[in-house]
Amino acid sequence: MTTVKTTSFCKQASCPSSATLLSYHKFGLVSSIETGVVEHLEACDFCCAELQLLSECPQDEVDFSKVEAIPPPLRLLAEEIFAGSFLTADTFLESCFEKARLTLTDA
């Protein structure tokens, strides 16, 4: 029996930055760097999708070093949705605030 290794659809440490992909799309890169990006795009579905999104959506000049992290509750919700294990409203709120629900005896 053969096992299939699945990789998660997310940016990996080896992926080029969004700024590099955007520069590659808009202006091209130095040949040695561009070759590496092209080879990476051939093997990475996530970066191909990101490049398509960047090329189809007009970009203002964005300083990627100042982009804020996704708030933890929103990140948790997104991860649960992409994983296919949808949270109920109650379990989502409990996981966001890491608190157990209050009961009448707690009051």
Question: Per the structure block, which two tokens stand in for 22?
Answer: 């955007």
pLDDT tens, residue by residue, 19-31: 888 888 888 888 8
Q: Are 47 and 56 in contact (CB under 8 A)?
A: no
User: How confident is the model at residue 47, as a pLDDT?
Assistant: 92
Question: Per the structure block, which two tokens stand in for 76?
Answer: 């948790």
Backbone angles phi, psi at 32, to 5 degrees: -70, -40
Residue 59 has pLDDT above 60, yes or no: yes
Average pLDDT, the chain: 76
